[in-house]
């Protein structure tokens, strides 16, 4: 009886420690949200470390191929609208198709922060997998690379055609700046009146 109570107490303590760690991790993860440049720089460093490791070992091409397919899938979600007008044109806000339509902001199916988080986790897991030789399946890597490029080209072509068809741009370049009308006749009429 006492042994059972001790095991339950130990598992409860472990669960409390896990919850505390989870809350602390979420706290620091939330603090990184406004710092997109630093987040993506860290992910680029992870990507460089992964590429360096694969190059140094000369293996783990299946891991690299799987990582590439996963990132391509995430990229499609990042570039796609939340409500796809092709699939369900009646529910939810629609993308404007004419210049006279009301402006509706582009809402991604996969937000930037979730996209970054998934890509970063994928690179960390891939780096960890390169430490286990059972994941190093011998393959002829040029075929995988060619197949990935064909898949990337076909997928992005379809996505770009979808963007053109429904007239949306998934990137926010920044706030648009409008300048007043510049008219050469207004400048000459002002100059003429001053001379009088």
Residues 181-192 have a mean pLDDT of 52
For the whole model, what pTM was predicted? 0.72
Side-chain half-sphere CA neighbours of 6 within 13 A = 3
What percent of the chain stands above pLDDT 70?
A: 73
- pLDDT tens across 27-64, in order? 998 999 899 999 999 999 999 999 999 999 999 999 99
**pLDDT of amino acid 103:** 58
Nearest to 35 by CA among 112, 97, 94, 105: 112
**pLDDT of amino acid 193:** 47
Residues 159-185 have a mean pLDDT of 69
Distance CA 159, CA 152 (A): 10
**pLDDT of amino acid 163:** 83
Backbone angles phi, psi at 81, to 5 degrees: -75, 155
Confidence of residue 113 (pLDDT cuts 50, 70, 90): very high
Backbone angles phi, psi at 99, to 5 degrees: -65, -25
**Of 1-15, 29-43, 169-183, the least confident:** 169-183
- pLDDT at 4 > cutoff 60: no
**Of 92-96, 107-111, 135-139, 154-158, the least confident:** 92-96
Distance CA 35, CA 113 (A): 10
**pLDDT of amino acid 38:** 95
- pLDDT tens across 69-108, in order? 999 999 999 988 887 776 765 554 555 555 555 556 677 8
**pLDDT of amino acid 107:** 79
Q: Cα dist. 60→20, 79, 149, 163 in Å?
A: 35, 29, 18, 35
């Amino acid at each position: 009886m006492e042994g059972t109570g001790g095991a339950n107490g130990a598992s409860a303590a472990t669960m409390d420690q896990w919850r505390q760690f989870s809350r602390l991790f979420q706290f620091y993860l939330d603090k990184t949200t406004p710092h997109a440049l630093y987040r993506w720089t860290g992910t680029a460093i992870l990507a460089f470390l992964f590429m360096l490791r694969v190059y140094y070992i000369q293996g783990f091409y299946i891991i690299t191929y799987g990582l590439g397919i996963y990132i391509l899938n995430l990229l499609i979600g990042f570039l796609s609208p939340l409500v796809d007008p092709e699939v369900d044109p009646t529910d939810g806000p629609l993308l404007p198709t004419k210049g006279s339509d009301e402006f509706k902001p582009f809402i991604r199916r996969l937000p930037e922060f979730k996209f970054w988080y998934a890509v970063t986790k994928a690179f960390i897991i891939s780096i960890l997998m390169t430490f286990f030789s059972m994941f190093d399946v011998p393959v002829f890597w040029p075929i995988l690379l060619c197949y990935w490029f064909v898949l990337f080209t076909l997928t992005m072509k379809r996505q770009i055609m979808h963007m053109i068809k429904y007239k949306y741009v998934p990137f926010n370049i920044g706030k648009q700046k409008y300048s007043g009308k510049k008219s050469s006749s207004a400048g000459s009429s002002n100059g003429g009146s001053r001379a009088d």
